[in-house]
Chain A
């Protein structure tokens, strides 16, 4: 049994609006080969268990675990799919190692969003079939309603939400993995077309294709295999009430609970002091502000001021989404959490190139499964 768990290898492909030259299997294979080379492991010999995060409706194939083993080197090995975000997969890998069940575990997430021709229609299938779906609304309406109530309760402004988009897409310009880098002004964002008012079209992350593979190991194996282990010092996850009729709309208490769980494991009492930088879910621009507050980086209603002051810029006190986030890198569906974790790993190893932050020791990755869910996860990593 291992008390500590480390990330010993990462591999990725993408991210791009479309990847017509390869199948999702070939995309994943490329990310897996990179991750195994990075970790110095042979999947056929060394890896004890494999986890993939995927949603059958998005893949267009049910019982998706069936299609995973070949491209991961997992044939005749323990494999399972989690219908959750990448950080749920990371949490499961953490548990497999902590319990002593496995010593080396691989987590895989991918997006072939470009292959889902009717993504809004498929997403609508996440709505309650009897009392919500018959209304026939595009699922983005849920983000619009949540944003509206969040602004109402906290006094956060449309400008502050738009500032998230401006920051993240500008950050993406310095990230070779990010396809949606842009130098926009607040006015350009605010003048954009509405999606589900008050949410603007530009403030919803565009989708991208990509694959991410992460190799985790027990302390003993990590020390012998890796000279730059990144330790998973806390991981938590939580779901809120699914009901649209009676959920908390202005706030995301499930993210707060997920963070509490991770902070407790990491022994963190004052997150804004203990954490050097964060990669947060920003699949809609306002979510980054809402998530900062739920994570305890500031009090409710203060995140908007922090972004105006530049506190979350790469050179600010608490850089948020220096990678460009989902707004800059693209919405990778269930692989989003792994994209967040990947950036934290690269920063903690000092391998983030042009966007490298100085002297970082503790980073936080947070994910949300998107509308209509109240499903989120948090991982805290340290070098």
Chain B
């Protein structure tokens, strides 16, 4: 359809029109500041990260260990029964090679996002993080990985206290 139209009606805008102030242009930076209460579940998770520990929680009725920990089991709607420290190793469930950064810059070496099923958590329970110290071509679903932590004195109780996960060398 549109391929048949040679000239679109209207006035096209060019970059230079913005620069020269030929159009009404208003720059607005939203001042949206939030101080989210992390609460019991995520608060405990972050506090444990600071100690270099991955924390999960266990639901007795579903016999499931989930990570990050939460106060309610989303499957049976019962309160979680206990918090459980987990290993910092796991298996890649899925990953992606990201060639564009969050603010739309094209990059040559991809960032590697991955969901890692944590050892000790129930199947399909993992944490969302990045992979590092690995050739993008070698990454595969089912790959065994381990957390690389920030030095203890630099941790601040944030998801970034883990720098990335790296492959576990077999044997």
Contacts and interface: CB of A to CB of B under 8 A. Distances in A.
A325 B28 CA distance: 36
A24 B76 contact: no
Interface of A: 19-26, 29, 42-44, 57, 60, 69-71, 73, 75, 112, 114-118, 121-122, 125, 129-130, 133-134
A204 to B, nearest CB: 20
B76 A44 contact: yes
Interface string B52-75: 000000000000000000111011
B39 A22 contact: yes
Nearest to B34: A60
Nearest to A25: B39
A76 B28 CA distance: 39
Given A42-B77, A44-B76, A70-B70, A121 B32 contact: yes
Contacts of A129: 26, 28
Contacts of B26: 129-130, 134
B39 A69 contact: no
Interface string B26-48: 10101111111111111100000
A115 B37 contact: yes
Contact of B74 (A23, A75, A133): A75
A23 B36 contact: yes
B40 to A, nearest CB: 6
Given A44-B76, A69-B74, A130-B26, A118 B32 contact: yes
Contacts of A116: 33-34
Interface of B: 24, 26, 28, 30-43, 70-72, 74-77
A115 B38 CA distance: 10
B45 to A, nearest CB: 11
Contacts of A69: 74
A43 B75 CA distance: 10
B77 A44 contact: yes
Contacts of B72: 25-26, 29, 70-71
A376 B41 CA distance: 36
A99 to B, nearest CB: 27
Contacts of A29: 71-72
Closest 5 CB pairs of A and B: A23-B39, A117-B33, A73-B77, A60-B34, A70-B74
A75 B64 CA distance: 16
Nearest to B24: A130
A246 B106 CA distance: 47
Given A23-B37, A117-B34, A130-B26, 16 more contacts: A20-B37, A23-B38, A25-B39, A25-B41, A25-B70, A42-B77, A44-B76, A70-B70, A112-B37, A114-B35, A115-B35, A115-B37, A121-B30, A121-B31, A125-B30, A133-B28
